[in-house]
Structure 1
Amino acid sequence: MLGDWWEQGKRLLGSHLLHSDSEEEDMGFLEVTVSDIKHPAPELGPMPDGLSPQQVVRRHILRSIVQSEGSYVESLKRILQDYRNPLMEMEPKVLSARKCQVVFFRLKEILQCHSMFQIALSSRVAEWDTTEKIGDLFVASFSKSMVLDVYSDYVNNFTTAMSIIKKACLTKPAFLEFLKRRQVSSSDRVTLYGLMVKPIQRFPQFILLLQDMLKNTPKGHPDRLSLQLALTELETLAEKLNEQKRLADQLAEIQQLTKSVSDRSSLNKLLTSGQRQLLLCETLTETVYGDRGQLIKSKERKVFLLNDMLVCANINFKPVNHRGQLEISSLVPLGPKYVVKWNTSLPQVQVMEVGQEGGTYDKDNVVIQNAGAKKSSPASQAHNKVYLGPPRLFQELQDLQKDLAVVEQITLLISTLHGTYQNLNMTVAQDWCLALQRLMRVKEEEIHSANKCRLRLLLPGKPDKSGRPISFMVVFITPNPLSKISWVNRLHLAKIGLREENQPGWKSPDEDKKSKAPFWCPILACCIPAFSSRTLSLQVSRNLAFLC
């Protein structure tokens, strides 16, 4: 029965999937009418007696699945019935039919998929106490390619849909008033944005529920294997959708950045020319320290790593002085505005790591190396280390080092005393030394932790009066150590990708055959696996040379 339902849905939806670019949204789509009388919503009956604790928990989880799915289907229906249909029928139009199709793209198909899933879920819930199986239903319902197709189209289109809604709110008061009326009249006061974001959140919710179900399914249970398979299918689907959402968000970020740049500026021409890609985009905290380690300035910046340039922008969260701006922001997120602070070509960017300064002092960091100490005490060992970190932390560490040196001298003097004095003996002096050493270790760990999140970039500045190039240091604090590692790796790989030998495409001689193609291989040639057979390895090398 379950297979028949999905085959029917596949035939009905198939033609529409092939015509997704048509001007009429409903062209080739035959809607399956789901009657509430013939197909009532799933409802779990009274709990029978004699169930084990695990069976009781599984029953509660099933109830959560039924309730969350029912709420989700109702949300999809609300989008179509309360927003899409009235906007399509409204006269005069506050949103054109074409824009309505873009805003509500694929929602009918998503509702169709879940309506069929709900029918199958209803029959499965009715027989739960005899079968206790749910995993195979998720596999049959959400492993279909058409589910991935409709959700992918929806996720890819989501940013565009929100952009149309925001622009319509700003330019058409009637549209803004329509959204406000719909929100106020709803029982839960959920906005259109709150409803439309639910398809993006649906599969992560399914995954959490099935994980709970699997935890409470014993080994050997007939539902365990199908639950594991269902989780694999849903996690794969969610990962694909997350990747598509990430790419769509990156494209939106570039568009937002481009809008913040003057049309006549050179940066605007760079952003709009060629096939420029956004590799990484994150909000980082720029920090500036004084000569004594005091924090002078700390401000959040939006940093964009493109495939050939690095852009830093100020973030302006203040609403623009526009009528109804606060009302709009309560209905749909407006997002920040960017003001470009600086941009530089990627090959000119250098990442400064620990030990690269060569013992120099600069405005943002201190590197001190005291060599040649004669003693082998812990204090002298500490003096031989190179410390890099925020100047305040380094100054505190340096003060501890000086105090330890003084206490060691006091200890030597105490050892020369002939009399016995209270609280002035070698035991107390040694305790002082150990306490200071512990504080130094704690301070070293603080400096080390700070460096894990500090991204230090050396950027080219304007030449001085004599024409000599000048570089300046920019220091960012990343949200966590993994973020810094990601930035360093992406910067390094992006610079490698800009090398001539790694540019896409193969160079060939001109038609006149007077010039020769350069002899080089892309960096990907380094990824060829090493074979144990020497003959096979040599043969692969010859083939590569021939291709190049």
Structure 2
Amino acid sequence: MKAARNGTKDGLEKTKIAMMRKVSFLSKKENTDDTEDDSGYLDVTVSDAKHPPPQLCPMPDGLSNQQIVRRHILGSIVQSEISYFDSLKRILQEYQTPLLDAEPRILSPKKIQPIFYRLKEILQCHAMFQIALASRVAEWDRTETIGDLFVASFSKSMVLDVYSDYVNNFTNAMALIKKACMSKPAFLEFLKKKQAASADRITLYGLMVKPIQRFPQFILLLQDMLKNTPAGHRDRLPLQLALTELETLAEKLNEQKRLAEQLSEIQQLARSNSDRALSKQLNSDQKQLILCETLIETVYGEKGQVLKSKERKVFLLNDMLVCANINLKGPPDISSLVPIGPKYTVKWSAPLQQVQVVEVGQENPQNNDSVFQPSGTKRLSSVNSQGQHRKLFLGPPRLYQELQELQHDLSVVEEVTLLVGTLQGSYQNLNTTVGQDWCLALQRLIRIKEDDIQCANKCRLRLMLPGKPDKSGRPVSFTVVFNTPSPISKISWVNRLHLAKIAQREENLPGWVCAEDDEKTKPPFWCPLLACRVPVFSPKIKSCQLGTLGKY
């Protein structure tokens, strides 16, 4: 990193000079709100006359194929930045300003401000970048460098701050828009008219999602530029540093977006639940969403037939498991303007410590907290407590029943083949060769069915849950079966469920973790190490226990 920064020192100085060449357009923003800290923020007034958009001059003669490709990539960067900058201006000029100036009021300013939170600051960041980009594009055929410009423009802390605030608020902004559409018909009509009047028919949501997509677009363009930059070129090292900076920034924003969406999911689940006690638990600050996914719940009959199959949203929280029905219905006129999102109806919830994973062939649920590892071996029988062999069901019952039928047919055909071999006469199509062909065909079908069972089981998540006590007060449990989208998804569910249960133990509840001084960063949910006691048995000492540490 030090060598990379030293390698781009001259380029960074040139960029700073280009950005500050006309210093009159830069002025410090007055901090009118004591609650916000806008240190480093510059209020930029961009005039098309003084600061025209960046534009490439006609291509000179004598360029190599690589130079031509780099020039085309630069043109894509310029066009995408102009389009993005215009989209930001459209949001403010066509939506925010008319809503603030509307008489009579469509929405109160207190509701408008959080919808368009930090958009003006994002616009200012890209106004500064566009001015510097225009200067760099004008001298491209002489310098052919662009990486240092991205480093100078997007490595500032204020860029991360404004984009982080926007991303964290995005889910809340969409919820406010949805709520306003349902409660304010004038606002819904306003959005419809704006969309109908635009040439591209893009919605407000389509415009507001662009800041979230901007840095991934930059990364793709710079990756193409780097691929077409030869070794030893003075722009190669700055491009590598620029990609490092942008990928780091994009990763931080993605993580913050993920946390914001998880919080929104928990809040949506709490709002849609009729049980006040459960809603209070979900609204607790201690609740953390570890994993949520749409799974297929399958109910089988006694003969292995599928009785019912329905999509469920399953939420794995730090101390409980929740299953909910999904309701995707919503007003069509609103859903066309902003994503409505599903509504949930809680089907059941269970404390995490009482949830057990039942793997294939296990009569009793797992009581240990071992991490699931997929096994390549198939066990067809085991011995129960009475010493008798019992069959183990591999995969869904219907597939296993079909396997049993094929195995029965194979044994019958083998017996028939042996009987045919004892015939004294010769008969057409009735000989041992035909019987052997039947046996080989059935064996192929059996292998295919076993593969189907194994694949189905890799996506089959079976859980034992606590139910309501019976009339005598004894505890009752029931089993639910979910089909996950892929084997990796099942492994993730089993592993995270076990780790979450281990994390709930007293020895893994950290008392030293606290919030950061800026009061914005939440304390980490997972400990760096999880302690788990594993029993170790020896011939002499059977009660010995070993305390081990497992890194998460």
Is TM more than 0.5 here?
A: yes
Change (3 A) 1:62 1:459: same
Matches within 5 A, 1:244-283: 244-262=256-274, 265-283=276-294
Report the CA distance between 1:213 and its aligned residue. Answer: 2.4
Cα distance in 2 for residues equivalent to 1:124 and 1:178: 40
Is residue 10–residue 146 contact of structure 1 (8 Å, CA) maintained in 2?
A: no
SS of residue in 1 equivalent to 2:463? strand
Change (3 A) 1:387 1:441: farther
Cα distance in 2 for residues equivalent to 1:14 and 1:80: 18
Cα distance in 2 for residues equivalent to 1:394 and 1:474: 18
Cα distance in 1 for residues equivalent to 2:399 and 2:120: 59
For 2:53, which of 32, 41, 44 is the aligned residue?
41
Pairs aligned (count): 488
Query: After superposition, what is the alpha-carbon deviation per residue over 1:277-305, rounded to whole angstroms, capped at 9, x for unaligned?
Result: 11112111111122222221111111111
Q: Does 1:491 align with 2:497?
A: yes
Report the CA distance between 1:96 and its aligned residue. Answer: 2.0
Report the CA distance between 1:161 and its aligned residue. Answer: 1.3
For 1:80, which of 92, 96, 109 is the aligned residue?
92
Report the CA distance between 1:357 and its aligned residue. Answer: 2.3
Cα distance in 2 for residues equivalent to 1:80 and 1:181: 16
Amino acid at match of 1:454: R
2:148 — aligned with what? 136
Report the CA distance between 1:80 and its aligned residue. Answer: 0.7
Matches within 5 A, 1:503-518: 503-505=509-511
2:518 — aligned with what? none
Deviates more, 1:486-495 or 1:39-48: 39-48
1:102 — aligned with what? 114
Query: After superposition, what is the alpha-carbon deviation per residue over 1:199-249, rounded to whole angstroms, capped at 9, x for unaligned?
Result: 011111112222222333333333333222222221111111111001101
Report the CA distance between 1:370 and its aligned residue. Answer: 5.3
For 2:218, which of 198, 206, 214 is the aligned residue?
206
Amino acid at match of 2:341: G
Change (3 A) 1:526 1:57: same
Amino acid at match of 1:148: L
SS of residue in 1 equivalent to 2:326? strand
Change (3 A) 1:134 1:428: farther
1:122 — aligned with what? 134
Is residue 258–residue 268 contact of structure 1 (8 Å, CA) maintained in 2?
A: yes
For 1:286, which of 297, 303, 311 is the aligned residue?
297
SS of residue in 2 equivalent to 1:175? helix
Cα distance in 2 for residues equivalent to 1:405 and 1:439: 14
Matches within 5 A, 1:5-84: 21-22=35-36, 31-84=43-96
For 1:167, which of 159, 166, 179 is the aligned residue?
179
Query: After superposition, what is the alpha-carbon deviation per residue over 1:464-485, rounded to whole angstroms, capped at 9, x for unaligned?
Result: 2222221111111112222212
Q: TM-score, normalised by structure 2?
A: 0.80
2:16 — aligned with what? 3
**Is there any run of 5+ residues in structure 2 with no aligned partner, and where?**
1-13, 366-377, 384-388, 513-526, 533-548
SS of residue in 1 equivalent to 2:104? coil
Amino acid at match of 2:486: N
1:375 — aligned with what? none
Amino acid at match of 1:76: L
2:315 — aligned with what? 304
Q: Does 1:524 align with 2:529?
A: yes
Is residue 18–residue 135 contact of structure 2 (8 Å, CA) maintained in 1?
A: no
Change (3 A) 1:334 1:371: closer
SS of residue in 1 equivalent to 2:346? strand
Is residue 19–residue 27 contact of structure 1 (8 Å, CA) maintained in 2?
A: no
Deviates more, 1:469-478 or 1:214-223: 214-223
Amino acid at match of 2:478: F
SS of residue in 1 equivalent to 2:314? strand
**What is the root-mean-square deviation of aligned Cα atoms in Å?**
3.2
Report the CA distance between 1:139 and its aligned residue. Answer: 2.0
1:480 — aligned with what? 486
SS of residue in 2 equivalent to 1:468? coil
Cα distance in 1 for residues equivalent to 2:462 and 2:24: 55
Q: Does 1:316 align with 2:327?
A: yes
Identity %: 71
Is residue 461–residue 481 contact of structure 2 (8 Å, CA) maintained in 1?
A: yes
Cα distance in 2 for residues equivalent to 1:218 and 1:413: 77
Change (3 A) 1:129 1:146: same
Is residue 397–residue 440 contact of structure 1 (8 Å, CA) maintained in 2?
A: yes
Report the CA distance between 1:150 and its aligned residue. Answer: 0.7
Change (3 A) 1:29 1:228: closer
Q: TM-score, normalised by structure 1?
A: 0.81
Change (3 A) 1:155 1:47: same
SS of residue in 1 equivalent to 2:201? coil
Deviates more, 1:65-74 or 1:413-422: 413-422
Is residue 19–residue 28 contact of structure 1 (8 Å, CA) maintained in 2?
A: no
For 2:395, which of 371, 384, 389 is the aligned residue?
389
Is residue 169–residue 328 contact of structure 1 (8 Å, CA) maintained in 2?
A: yes
1:437 — aligned with what? 443
Change (3 A) 1:133 1:403: farther
Is residue 15–residue 29 contact of structure 1 (8 Å, CA) maintained in 2?
A: no
Change (3 A) 1:220 1:400: farther
Query: After superposition, what is the alpha-carbon deviation per residue over 1:463-514, rounded to whole angstroms, capped at 9, x for unaligned?
Result: 22222221111111112222212211221111111112222317xxxxxxxx
